[in-house]
Copies of this chain bind each other. A is one copy, B any other.
Amino acid sequence: MSNTLSASLRGSLFYGKEKFKMNKYTKTELVANWQSLMRTFIKPEDDASRLVLIKYMEQISFGLHEFLGKHVGITEDVGLKDLSSRFKNTLISKNPEKKLTDVITEIVEDIAPHAVNVASPYFIGHMTSAIPFFMVHLKTIVAALNQNVVKIETSKVVSILEKQILAKIHRLVYKKSSDFYERYVQNIRTTLGCFVEDGTLANITALWVARNRLFAPKNGFTGVEQEGIQAACSAYNINRCVVIVSRLGHYSIKKAGGLLGIGNQNVIAVDIDADNRMDLDCLKKTIREIKHDGAGIVAVVGIAGTTETGAIDPLPQIGALCSENKIYFHVDAALGGPTLMSEKYSHFLEGIDIADSVTIDGHKQFYMPMSCGMVFFKDPSIMDAVKYHANYVNRFGSVDLGIKSLAGSREANSLILDSALKIMGSQGYALLIEHGIETTRMFAEEIERRDNFQLITRSDLNILTYRICPFDIKRRLAEGNPEQICIINKELNKINRVVQRLQREAGKSFVSRTKLRTGSKPEKEIVVFRCVIMNPMTDIKILNEILDEQEEIYKSNFDELVKSRFCSLHDHFGRN
């Protein structure tokens, strides 16, 4: 080891007084230096080291806290282009560039201020929100333990704990008998579900299982997992298979179609009703047509909380249709699943227990850190269709969770969920979820009360969409013919796009935007603001401030323009 490097390592890797001691070492003590490098792999042991360590932790917690208190952070103070130009160093330095403490300081002072403050109550644009502070502690524990739940040999009790928490959430969803859970909670041959990175991978896992169920082994055909889709279609004498979901389905369903070899154009988008729920007549018609075509149906996917509008599909009816037609029924409850913990609102998810599988995302309404997607299966043996063994891992008959899992190595985020449920209780979560739902309702009322806004979608859950639409224009929309409506919407789209951007750039608050097709009307897509109310600190006062800000941006940029445009539109109407 060179002198320069060892000096740098001394400066960068050691804690506390040791660092200073090391500087006195001469060349003959370079071996001791290697010994010290090794010591960075264990926790510091003396009091001085403890103090330094605690200083770092304080810096992380409170340094970040001060940043988080300040702004929402999507501000364009420093634009993306500008930021990008600062991150173009593509060479890894041979020698250490910075001491640990400087790296942490850099993150706190230079990186964090340009990150997004998703914890702000003014950040209501996405499902990434504030998380309770103890979640960070729990994540720290998971990192420090560094267990790998792919196999029992690198996790032991943590794998067993994961099976228990899978059973707890399975029970929340499926409400099977105590006997059922007694039989399956620690059964090493079965699994009640699987932890994955996120909702996308949960949906993919569910549809992977569904595909393999459709193309199960029969008459010398050993199954699609072994022989592939080409052989499966031959064995079953069909020319294609499809997945059916409402056209508000998450894009991961299409991705699953592509990934699994089904083809993403074979993910059939069924139309929706006026409440953004899957239209049952359309579903029936689609099933009939697909069957008539001789194609296979991998699954029908119901949504419990669509990403854009929060709508919940009619699960009992879809479930009944699936049972009738022997079709696999998956429910994407990535957002809505935890609503089951609210005694007040769990009825919104009625019928979810009919589903063959259910996706729930931990970082959404379980308020967990990232990387805790989950998928649950009604049948504890159905994941046998995707099991993999190897000599060195995932041995037959072992507890190894990696036997039935999309990923291999995985961190033990199940430990966080288990702990959080103990700390919060289901009712602690219920309070949060109910706050989201009820605040969203109040927000909808407020939007309807204001002349310059138009509520576009509301749902049972904590998502709504709306747009700026001045009173006069609303009247015009109500009276106009399809062509006129189309022209007005185009103008409004431009306005709403700009208002959303200006508000984001101002950096005080953040509302996302999306494009929606409203019902079956012919106006095509309209641009809307989209809000997800998850943060318990987001209250109606803050929401009013956000509306005020939007109204002000609108007025100072468009009011005059709209009035003159309105005249031209008026002319336009006149001509038609």
Contacts and interface: CB of A to CB of B under 8 A. Distances in A.
Contacts of A119: 41-42, 146
19 contacts: A2-B427, A5-B428, A13-B423, A41-B119, A57-B137, A87-B186, A88-B186, A96-B424, A111-B415, A126-B151, A126-B154, A136-B144, A153-B504, A197-B197, A199-B409, A224-B261, A226-B264, A230-B233, A254-B388
Interface string A167-208: 111111000001001100110000000001111110000001
B228 A266 contact: yes
Nearest to A308: B392
Interface stretch (A99-107, A271-279, A320-328, A478-486): A99-107
A239 B229 CA distance: 10
B164 A388 contact: no
A424 B5 CA distance: 10
A309 B394 CA distance: 17
Interface stretch (A32-40, A488-496, A564-572): A32-40
Interface in A463-514: 504, 510, 512-514
Interface residues of A, number: 187
A370 B141 contact: no
A307 interface: yes
A135 interface: yes
A201 B44 CA distance: 35
A408 interface: yes
A361 B44 CA distance: 27
A184 to B, nearest CB: 9
A111 B261 contact: no
A258 B154 contact: no
Residue among A153, A182, A363 facing the most chain B CB atoms (10 A cut-off): A153
A227 to B, nearest CB: 5
Contact of A74 (B156, B230, B536): B156
Contacts of A346: none
